[in-house]
Amino acid sequence: GQQVMQIPQYQHVQEGEDFTTYCNSSTTLSNIQWYKQRPGGHPVFLIQLVKSGEVKKQKRLTFQFGEAKKNSSLHITATQTTDVGTYFCAGLFLRNNAGNMLTFGGGTRLMVKP
Amino acid sequence: GAVVSQHPSWVICKSGTSVKIECRSLDFQATTMFWYRQFPKQSLMLMATSNEGSKATYEQGVEKDKFLINHASLTLSTLTVTSAHPEDSSFYICSASDVYEQYFGPGTRLTVT
């Protein structure tokens, strides 16, 4: 079945350092979405990328979608303690006669030392 | 943004009993709702896709008779865990979809003793 791999699993950074998490899909995606889940909370939608090679920015966050629409990355510049949480990518797969399926990557847990 | 509520937020039940979890989209109509399961420090696993007025589509490995899903209206879907066992203890999260994105509920933590 469709799989979305995400690395790294954990990342400890010093406040002010940059952070990147990567996602790879075994097959071409219709789109890719990114979510943030704070400890004890639920996933909150950050952004959706649809086009091949798309790059979107939200303040210190930069999201990229690969040319082949099989990989994506989230980069945070100058991390802050408020960035702490688990970042999930989720790839949307189009399935014939079975509806679309959003498959989550394993998540990258970001810890920021003040 | 759109709001999705879940009730209860946590529940403890005895082995062999059934538990119903409600998922509501509060300010929009969701033709499709999704049910996920999340074990501690793990990713979300899609259990089933629920369309209003029709039977839910279950993912491979998810028992239909154990996890009963009803999508009675455009704003309400329910998940009933029947004859719960300790291994069913988990965090269950629903999400509701509009045209643009999925909105997640706050989740229900189920503990089966």
pLDDT tens for each residue of A46-64: 999 999 999 999 999 999 9
Place of tokens 């010093």: A14
What is the three-class DSSP state of A81?
A: helix
pLDDT at A96: 65
Per-residue tokens: A75 = 């980069």
Q: What is the mean pLDDT of chain A?
A: 93
DSSP A82: G
Q: How far is B20 from B45, CA to CA, in rounded Å?
A: 19
Strand order across the B67-73 sheet: B4-7, B19-25, B76-81, B67-73
Q: How far is A34 from A110, CA to CA, in rounded Å?
A: 14
Q: How far is A24 from A91, CA to CA, in rounded Å?
A: 9
- Chain B residues near residue A101 by CB distance under 8 angstroms: 46, 49, 59
pLDDT tens string B72-108: 888 999 999 999 999 999 999 999 987 667 889 999 9
Nearest to A102 among B41, B46, B107 (CB): B46
| Residue A20 contacts residue A13 (beta carbons within 8 Å) | no
Q: How far is B77 from B55, CA to CA, in rounded Å?
A: 11
Question: B93 in contact with A at a CB cutoff of 8 Å?
Answer: yes
Residues 6+ apart with CB under 8 A from A2: A25, A26, A27, A91, A93, A101, A103
DSSP B66: T
Q: What is the mean pLDDT of chain B?
A: 91
Query: B57 burial class (0-12, 13-18, 19+ CB within 10 angstroms)?
Result: buried
Residue A97: pLDDT above 70? no
Strand B10-13 to strand B108-112: parallel, antiparallel, or no bridges (unpaired)?
parallel
What's the half-sphere exposure (Cβ side, CA atoms, 13 Å) at A73?
A: 13
| Residue B89 contacts residue B112 (beta carbons within 8 Å) | yes
What average pLDDT does the segment B28-37 reach?
Answer: 89
Chain-centre distance of CA B98, in angstroms? 17
Chain B residues 11-70 with CB within 8 Å of chain A: 32, 34, 36, 41-46, 49, 51, 57, 59-60
